[in-house]
Amino acid sequence: MPVIDLDEAVNEVERVAKVGYRSIKIPLTMASRPYNLPAYERFRAACAPVSDQIRFEALAIDAALRNGVRHVVKLSAYEAHDDNPSDFRLWNGEADRHLRTSGLDWTVLRPTAFCQSVDPHAIVAKGEILATQGRSTTPFIDARDIAVAVLTGKGHHVKIYDLTETEAFSQEQLAALIPDVFSVPIACRLVSDAEALAGLLVAGNDEVFARSMVVHWQSYRARPATVISGWTEILTGQPPRTLCAYLEEAKDGA
């Protein structure tokens, strides 16, 4: 049986990082009926944080079991568990549990925020970052490192890996970092939950999604100090790409 091509996985995980919250990331998770999967030894599952995420990913996992897939690598979320106040982390936690009890071999990758979720050109054009997460810090991770971790090596069955880079940044620190690369001043303004909710609604988001985002940002502020994990380097065999390197690359590719 073939193993899924690594280049294909890289492209797909990068797409996961770049597509908006409401879009389903992997075509397999878009169907509402049972899937027929190719006879892969290994299958990776990922879905956007949407209210149907648990159902979509459960369908994909059940199809993997039914079609003889041996090992599912699931892209989850940092701090995903069943009682997390953030809907997005809760949905991932419930889908993770479905996989762990499916009878399949499994590996769960739990990345933090993607470097690719930062659009420095849009920030430079606006000249401002709205800090919805207070002064909490987040270790970003490059989506390409996650892609390599998905399919590199063996011996990762029944394992959960938290994936980060080597530093954590607050939104204020990010606002200070971008000028170092792009040579333009960037302001950072702390916003209240009420202001953040109003902004999401004005931007055309429905109220359920907007409230979920506010709770998600609250969960950043409520957690203890960010934990830096060394699993990215262990799994890929090289130091993780940094947010600073990503910004430099984004500038050069402008």
Q: What is the mean pLDDT of the chain?
A: 77
Whether the pLDDT of residue 147 is over 80: the answer is no
44, 107 Cβ separation under 8 angstroms: no
Over residues 79-129, the pLDDT tens digits come to 877 777 778 888 888 889 999 999 988 888 888 888 888 899 999 999 999
Report how many domains make up the chain: 1
Has residue 1 been placed in a domain? no
Report how far residue 239's alpha carbon sits from residue 145's, in angstroms, rounded to the nearest whole number: 9
- Angle of helix 53-66 relative to helix 87-100, nearest 10 degrees, comes to 20
**What is residue 92's predicted lDDT score, i.e. its pLDDT?**
85
Within a domain: 242: yes
User: Is residue 222 domain-resident?
Assistant: yes
pLDDT tens digits for range 190-249: 999 999 999 999 989 888 888 888 988 888 888 766 788 898 888 888 899 999 999 999
Separation CA 15–CA 35 (nearest Å): 21
Asked if residue 10 belongs to a domain, the reply is: yes
On whether residue 22 sits in a domain, the answer given is: yes
Q: How many Å apart are CA 144 and CA 66, to the nearest integer?
A: 30
Phi, psi of 37 (to 5 degrees): -100, 150
| Entry field: residues in the chain | 254
Residue 129's domain comprises: 6-252
Residue 216: predicted pLDDT = 85
Mean pLDDT across the stretch 154-158?
A: 78
Rounded to whole angstroms, how far apart are CA atoms 248 and 182? 8
The answer to whether residue 133 sits within a structural domain is yes
Q: What is the pLDDT of residue 16?
A: 44
Query: Which pLDDT belongs to residue 2?
Result: 32
What is the CATH number for 57?
3.40.50.720
Answer whether residue 254 shows pLDDT above 70.
Answer: no
* Sign of CA pseudo-dihedral 180, 222, 234, 42: negative
Enter the pTM of the model.
Answer: 0.77
